[in-house]
Amino acid sequence: MPLGGINWRHAAPPRERRDQNRGTAMTTATTTTYQVSGMSCGHCEGAVSAEVGALPGVTEVTATATTGLVTVVSEGPLDDDAVRAAVDEAGYELVGPA
C-alpha cells in the first residue's frame, strides 16, 4: 500500500485472455489517474475509493489525499461521467484526468 493513500482491491480478478501464439494467459487492464479536489484525510481517501471501486469493471483504486490523485485499474476504459458521478457521490469534485 502506498504511503498516505488507501489501496482498495475489488474481490473479482481482472479478465484474462489467451495469447493465441503461446497459449498463455495475459491479463488486460487499463490504468487511469484522475485529479480530485477536496480530499484531506484518510476518511476522504476511503470514501472516494469505495464509490469509484463500486463501478463495474474496476479492480483496484488508490486514492491519495496529499496529492489529490486517484489511480484506477479497470478491466477496460471507464466512462468519465460514471467516474465523475462516483466522486460526486463521495462528496468530492473530479477535476479531470491527471
* Domain boundaries defined on the chain: 5-97
What does the mean pLDDT of the chain come to?
A: 85
Return d(Cα 10, Cα 17) in angstroms, integer. Answer: 19
Q: What cell does 16 get? A: 484474462
Which pLDDT tens digit goes with each residue over 4-20? 565 555 444 445 554 45
Global pTM value: 0.74
Which pLDDT tens digit goes with each residue over 31-75? 999 999 999 999 999 999 999 999 999 999 999 999 999 999 999
CATH, range 5-97: 3.30.70.100
